[in-house]
């Protein structure tokens, strides 16, 4: 076994690897940039080595510095995690030359599988089903159009060295092929320093299903079943589960056999993932092989009971797999939600800032048949910066079956409290409640089909609204009682917070009366009676309720005099007033928000890559105006209507804050 392992990564995956190395008793070394000096992974490791400034190209991607860090600390092995240098053959070669073990596959496997063109050629020769397409290099947009026509629209334009949804575009016609080629090549060059792209047939309504493989250095290669990864936005996975609700035993065995055959063809050892797209008739086609641990590996660990990171370490140390294919059993169901710092209501644009409040959901209660796991690399007070991926955490729930796992995930999401940055918790909760998702009839088009106009918190069902109105009155009651204990200035009728209240929601008045019934509250709302038990103290971000026997968790945020409450994907702002105060409030004038329609605003913090227009220029609706890059993704901003550019307020190459004015229309 290794004497010391350096983890050439950061954040959540570095902390995940540290959990296994600590259990195995192996000393560790962390590396960090200026932005990560006080990060959790640095704190958890036994030693830490500084690499450089925040940009990855000046720190985490510096091969020489990481090799030097190994030599300086005596680390005899490196685990790369995912991203960064995890699939960089030059990095592996440099480690080999320095006599340092790489906890991953051999150089040649990384090289071939990292090139989507070469990997498809190898897969085809190994008898693995592949998607029809053009595997040669494409020189310019017109050649891209010619090839796309030959294949037949729609097509997928992809970076040869791509991954993580970067450098990918779907084209349905000639103009989209031209624009997609330019955008994919630009993103590929920016993200991977490799602008090669290729084109393949886009399978409509596909599922994205992947097979986890393990191979040792002694000739054994096996698979650990599949993961369903079809819930995606912008080709980036959002929700994963294992097993897939779509596969039958026969298809699972066939896909597993092809994944193993590919691993053997490339002499693969370590953990790897063979990704397939699967059509509605269960025909499956090789997509790519990721020669590293995947973000979604926890769902496989939860249903198999295996620690994949541990086996990566043991295989790299020369150990044999001590189990065979027949020993791999899939038990129960696991669902993973990726919690991102992004704004779902603004096209999932990334959000940056400080985690002012951060509280992960606890593990399941004693006696529950659920397991709750949260893999993260942040603490309250940490900053989500512009330099790295916006993923905050991975929330994983395991249950005896799919329905139980989904219900458990909904409860865990309700109890996940984040403030200071925008996040996608309500979007994830909406997915868990979506009947199409719950039925298992999904595809990679799910987000586009279920949220065709983008995600916006929907009007909650009456039952949810009723619960949140009740929760607001309970909060007001508890707060009033607490204030009376402190200053004694409230009248006797208000001192305990009991009595008549009016909850204002979207201009509507909802009269409610609250009293005590033993240790619980008794509430009357629109002729309905509720018995409510509550656990909350002022300042606590979570209100735990039992309403007529149903347990739920409500997130609580104070917005001036109002309560902003979140539960089950619904977000409501409710103002609770005494009845006379509510009557007076109804007479207050409404202030209209300012009109900002004549400005083009940056929808995210980022870099202004280019401007396509000049002052006094006429523009048409849909015309590209500017390109803003954030977290290595380029976002094209377009005109919403015809107009004339009056003034440009930002410079190309400059940094932009969210809602910063880029240009102004006449």
Which amino acids are annotated catalytic? 288
| Four-point Cα dihedral 314, 224, 376, 374, nearest 10 | -120
Pairing between strand 47-52 and 28-33?
parallel
Q: Residue 544: phi, psi to the nearest 5?
A: -100, 125
Other Cβ atoms less than 10 A from the Cβ of 305: the count is: 10
What's the rounded Cα separation, in Å, for the pair 120 and 97? 29
Coil, strand or helix: which one is 470? helix
The DSSP secondary-structure symbol of 319 reads: P
DSSP E strands in 196-283: the ranges are 197-201, 207-215, 221-233, 236-242, 270-278
Contact (Cβ atoms closer than 8 angstroms) between residue 338 and residue 241 = no
What's the rounded Cα separation, in Å, for the pair 406 and 408? 5
Crossing angle, helix 11-24 and helix 308-316, to 10 degrees? 70
**Is the previous residue joined to 119 through a cis bond, with omega within 30 degrees of 0?**
no
The DSSP secondary-structure symbol of 346 reads: G
The tokens describing 301, both together, are 């660990």
Region of 102 on the Ramachandran plot (φ > 0 left; ψ -120 to 50 alpha; else beta):
beta
Coil, strand or helix: which one is 188? helix
CA neighbours closer than 13 Å in the CB half-sphere of residue 483: 13
What's the rounded Cα separation, in Å, for the pair 573 and 409? 24
What's the rounded Cα separation, in Å, for the pair 452 and 436? 14
Coil, strand or helix: which one is 446? helix
The closest alpha carbon to 426, from 567, 572, 569, belongs to 569
């Amino acid at each position: 076994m290794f004497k010391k392992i350096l983890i050439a990564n950061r954040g959540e995956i570095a902390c995940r690897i540290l959990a296994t190395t600590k259990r195995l008793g192996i000393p560790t070394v962390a590396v960090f940039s200026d932005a990560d000096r006080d990060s959790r992974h640095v704190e958890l490791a036994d030693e830490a080595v500084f690499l450089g400034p925040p940009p990855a190209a000046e720190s985490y991607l510096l091969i020489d510095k990481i090799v030097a860090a190994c030599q300086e600390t005596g680390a005899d092995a490196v685990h790369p995690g995912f991203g960064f240098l995890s699939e960089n053959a030059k990095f592996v070669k440099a480690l080999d030359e320095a006599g340092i073990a790489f906890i991953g596959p051999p150089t040649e496997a990384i090289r071939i599988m990292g090139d989507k063109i070469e990997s498809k050629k190898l897969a085809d020769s190994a008898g693995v089903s592949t998607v029809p397409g053009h595997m040669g290099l494409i020189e310019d947009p017109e050649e891209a159009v010619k090839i796309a026509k030959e294949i037949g629209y729609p097509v997928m334009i992809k970076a040869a060295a791509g991954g993580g949804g970067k450098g990918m575009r779907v084209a349905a016609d000639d103009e989209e092929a031209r624009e997609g080629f330019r955008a994919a090549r630009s993103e590929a060059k920016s993200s991977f320093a490799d602008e090669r792209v290729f084109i393949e047939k886009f399978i409509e309504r596909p599922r994205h299903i992947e097979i986890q493989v393990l191979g040792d250095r002694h000739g054994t290669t096996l698979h650990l079943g599949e993961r369903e990864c079809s819930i995606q936005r912008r080709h980036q996975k959002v929700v994963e589960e294992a097993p897939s609700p779509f596969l039958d035993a026969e298809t699972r065995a066939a896909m597993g056999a092809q994944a193993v055959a590919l691993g053997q063809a490339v002499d693969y050892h370590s953990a790897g993932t063979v990704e397939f797209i699967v059509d509605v008739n269960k025909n499956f086609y090789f997509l790519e092989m990721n020669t590293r641990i995947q973000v979604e590996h926890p769902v496989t660990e939860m249903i198999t009971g295996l620690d994949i990171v541990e086996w990566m370490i043991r295989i790299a140390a020369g150990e044999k797999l001590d189990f065979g294919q027949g020993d791999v059993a899939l038990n129960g169901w696991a669902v993973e939600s990726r919690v991102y710092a992004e704004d779902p209501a603004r096209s999932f644009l990334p959000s940056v800032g400080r985690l002012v409040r951060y509280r992960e959901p606890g593990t399941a209660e004693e006696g529950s048949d659920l397991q709750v796991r949260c893999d993260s690399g942040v603490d309250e007070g940490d900053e989500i910066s512009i330099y790295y991926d916006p993923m905050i955490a991975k929330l994983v729930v395991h249950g005896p079956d799919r329905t139980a796992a989904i219900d458990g995930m909904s409860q865990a999401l309700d109890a996940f409290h984040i403030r200071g940055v925008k996040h996608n918790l309500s979007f994830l909760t909406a997915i868990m409640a979506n009947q199409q998702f719950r039925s298992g009839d999904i595809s990679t088009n799910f987000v586009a089909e279920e949220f065709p106009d983008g995600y916006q918190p929907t009007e909650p069902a009456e039952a949810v609204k009723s619960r949140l109105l009740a929760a607001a009155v309970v909060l007001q009651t508890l707060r009033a009682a607490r204030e009376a204990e402190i200053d004694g200035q409230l009248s006797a009728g208000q001192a305990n917070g009991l009595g008549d209240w009016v909850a204002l929601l979207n201009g509507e008045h909802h009269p409610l009366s609250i009293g005590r019934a033993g240790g619980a509250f008794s509430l009357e709302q629109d002729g309905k009676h509720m018995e409510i038990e509550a656990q909350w103290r002022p300042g606590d971000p979570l209100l735990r309720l039992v309403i007529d026997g149903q347990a739920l968790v409500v997130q609580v945020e104070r917005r001036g005099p109002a309560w902003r409450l979140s539960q089950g994907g619904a977000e409501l702002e409710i103002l609770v007033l005494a009845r006379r105060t509510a009557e007076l409030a109804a007479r207050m004038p409404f202030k209209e928000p300012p009109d900002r329609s004549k400005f083009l605003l940056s929808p995210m913090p980022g870099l202004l890559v280019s401007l396509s227009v000049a002052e006094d220029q006429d523009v048409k609706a849909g015309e590209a105006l500017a390109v803003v890059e954030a977290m290595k993704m380029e976002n094209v901003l377009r005109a919403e209507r015809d107009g004339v550019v009056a003034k440009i307020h930002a410079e190309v190459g400059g940094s932009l804050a969210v809602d910063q004015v880029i240009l102004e229309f006449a």
